[in-house]
Amino acid sequence: MQPAILPILLFVAASTGLGIVLLSVGWVFGPRRNTAVKEMPYESGMDPIHDARRRFDIRFHIVAIAFLLFDVELLFLYPWAVANRHPEGIAQAVTDKLVDDRMLVFGEVMVFIALLAAGLVYIWRKGVLRWR
Amino acid sequence: MADYFLQHLPHWPVFAWFPDWVNVALAYVLTAAIHAALLNVVVAAGALVFIWLERKVSGRIQDRLGPTRVGGKFGWLQTLADGIKLIAKEDLMPAGADGMLFRMAPYISFGASYVAYIALPFADGWVAAPLNTGVFFILAVMGLEVFGVILGGYSSASKWSLFGAMREAAQVVSYEVPLGMCVVVPVLLCGTMDLVEIGNMQAGWFTNWLVFHDPFTFVTSIVYFTCALASVNRAPFDLAEAESELVAGFHTEYSGLRWSLFFMAEYGSMFTVSGLAAILFFGGWHGPIPITSLLGLAGNDNAFLAYVANLIGMANFIGKAVFGVTFMMWVRWTFPRLRIDQVMTTCLKYCVPIAAAMFLGVLWWTYNDLPGGAWLAAPYAERLRIESPAAAEPKTEVPAKVAVSERGV
């Protein structure tokens, strides 16, 4: 059995290495004549006003929270989706008397999706999806 | 390939002296290194070709010629010339920038976009790492790309970059949800997350492709493509760059080859999402007409013929993925960019409910045993047959597992 993590790690290293090689080629051949004007952040030709590190809109925060809720709960659908039709999945569990009935599991998933839907309707009514 | 090395490495001249565990480790490292080198070439060459293609396609759509001079009639060396120009550019960093994050960000984007290829099968069993959670791995790794964009935008200390990064964060983060819902549908139908198996279940005529399985999967594939466009932030969802509003968005302050890493990451992930679409919905490496099985190439005991079948399959797969990428270019030069509020509305008010409805529709379809074309290639039809609880008799035999991954490169 091939250790699955090894090729992945090696590929991370390979891609990073490719990036480093590319950038060092640029570092060797590129010019290095830095001036204060070149180091200014670009603001369409004007001298920059204020620092760029400022507070930004709360809307992004709300979107992020909504994402966390939905995406994390979406993850739970995958194991069920695999087990649903896999012969060693729910069917086997029914045969082994681990689960009473296929439809019970199905019903549970439906309840789960209904909860998600209720959440979506709630944030919709609360106006989270209205980008104003 | 790992098996080949495991078998033959200990008999090679020098290696025979080494202890066994060294040879085993060497076999795996050698295999992984060859895969990594191959994929690096594929990805780098892909980026070169796609950038040229994009300029050509956009030129033609706007009634221009695009590049014509560099490298002969069609300007096909234009990207290489651009690359050489980028080498000669100065690598600048704004004075107020956070140096470490600024330098790190392109690597994250680039690395994430490239590592996703490792789980992407190019033909039956031709995958660098045969993961049994391939779909999951690709989605997860592609999701990391956004970190590079956000860090790059935030650390630049430029307002344009910051705006671009925040938009990207909101957009990509929201589109992960419908994207995940669309991907769940093929996983549900096939009962596996292994991309090689999902691809092989669509063997045969094009009616076996999951996109034609039922009306719901058809709509799902459209929603998937929309969300894929948004998640690799291509137009009309390219708010993070938005060159007419934000100068260049998150990479305003990047220059030279450091900037080109972001660019190559974008084209790399375009290919990945198109390839994923090809495997999940459009039959993967199985062409519309099963030439390889009609000619008796596929599944042949003769290793050479099976190899030829796999080569044809790879051509099919790459053709489909390139078509997907070309389609994205077509979309880019056809539709105007959306506003940020329209982007969020499209995602949460349309894509999510539609994707959820399609998911339920597919469930309904499978639970009622409605026809799915001639769907499910023979070895899998057995494997996926669900016994009804009434007829739950003790299993006579475990269905023969088709060891796809063992047929590997």
* A31 has a chain B CB within 8 A of its CB: yes
Asked if residue B369 has pLDDT above 70, the reply is no
pLDDT at residue B167 tops 50: yes
What's the CA gap between A102 and A84, in Å, rounded?
A: 9
Which of A23, A68, A122 to probe by mutation at the B interface, max B CB count within 10 Å? A23
CA B371 to CA B365: how far, in whole Å?
8
Q: Domain spans of chain A?
A: 58-126
Test A6 with B28 for CB contact under 8 angstroms. Answer: yes
> Mind listing the pLDDT tens digit for each residue in B260-275?
888 888 888 888 999 9
Residue A117: pLDDT band (50, 70, 90) is confident
A residues 39-58 lying closer than 8 A (beta carbon) to B: 39-44, 48, 51-54, 56-57
ipTM greater than cut 0.90: no
* Position with higher pLDDT, A20 vs B300: A20
Average pLDDT, chain B: 78
Please tell me the distance from the alpha carbon of residue B354 to that of residue B220, in angstroms, as a whole number: 8
Per-residue confidence (pLDDT) for residue A58, from 0 to 100: 75
Higher pLDDT, A122 or B383: A122
Q: Does B354 touch chain A (CB under 8 A)?
A: no
Closest alpha carbon to B158 in B90, B245, B97: B97
pLDDT digits (tens, 9 = 90+) for B109-151: 888 888 888 888 888 777 777 788 888 888 888 888 888 888 8
User: Could you report how far apart the first and last alpha carbons of chain A are, in Å?
Assistant: 54
Q: For B54-106, how does the pLDDT look when each residue is reduced to its tens digit (9 = 90+)?
A: 888 888 888 888 888 887 778 888 888 888 888 888 888 888 778 888 888 88
User: What local confidence, expressed as pLDDT, does residue B379 receive?
Assistant: 43
**Which whole-number Å values give the CA distances from A18 to A11, A21, B69, B106, in the listed order?**
10, 5, 29, 12
Residues B210, B189: contact at Cβ < 8 Å? Answer: yes
This prediction has a pTM of 0.83
Among partner residues A18, A32, A78, which is closest to B187 by beta-carbon distance?
A78
> Any idea where the domains of chain B sit in the sequence?
1-88, 96-376
Instruction: Give the mean pLDDT of B155-180.
Output: 84
Q: What are phi and psi of B374, to 5 degrees?
A: -95, 35
A93: tokens are 């569990």
Q: Name every chain B residue with its beta carbon within 8 A of the beta carbon of A82.
A: 187, 191-193
B86 CB neighbours in chain A (<8 A) are 26
B106 cis-preceded (ω within 30 degrees of 0): no
- Within 49-108 of A, beta carbons closer than 8 Å to B belong to 51-54, 56-57, 59-60, 63-64, 66-67, 70-71, 74-75, 77-78, 81-87, 89, 91, 94-95, 101-102, 106
CA distance, residue B348 to nearest chain A CA (Å): 7
Contact (CB<8Å) B169/A64: yes
In this complex, the residue of B90, B91, B340 whose CB is nearest that of residue A131 is B340
- Any A CB within 8 A of B118 CB: yes
Contacts (Cβ under 8 Å, ≥6 apart) of B38: B128
Whether residue A45 has pLDDT greater than 60: yes
Q: Is A127 helix (H, G, I), strand (E, B) or coil?
A: coil
Closest Cα in chain B to A84: B191
A117/B356 CB distance under 8 A: yes
> What pLDDT digit, counting tens, does each position of B381-399 carry?
454 544 433 334 444 444 4
Which of the four pLDDT bands, split at 50, 70 and 90, describes residue B284?
confident
List the single range of A51-55, B6-10, B167-171, B290-294 with lowest mean pLDDT.
B6-10
Do residues B180 and B228 make contact, with C-beta atoms less than 8 angstroms apart? no
Per the model's pLDDT, the better-predicted residue between B381 and B286 turns out to be B286
pLDDT confidence bin for B299, thresholds 50/70/90: low
More confidently predicted of B95 and B408: B95
Separation between Cα atoms, residue B126 and residue B104, nearest integer Å: 32
- CB distance B180–A82 less than 8 Å? no
Query: Averaged over B185-201, what is the pLDDT?
Result: 84
pLDDT tens digits for B305-355?
A: 777 878 888 888 889 999 999 999 899 888 888 887 888 888 888 888 898
* CA B5/CA B286 separation, integer angstroms: 29
Calculate what percentage of chain B has a pLDDT beyond 90: 3
pLDDT at B224: 92
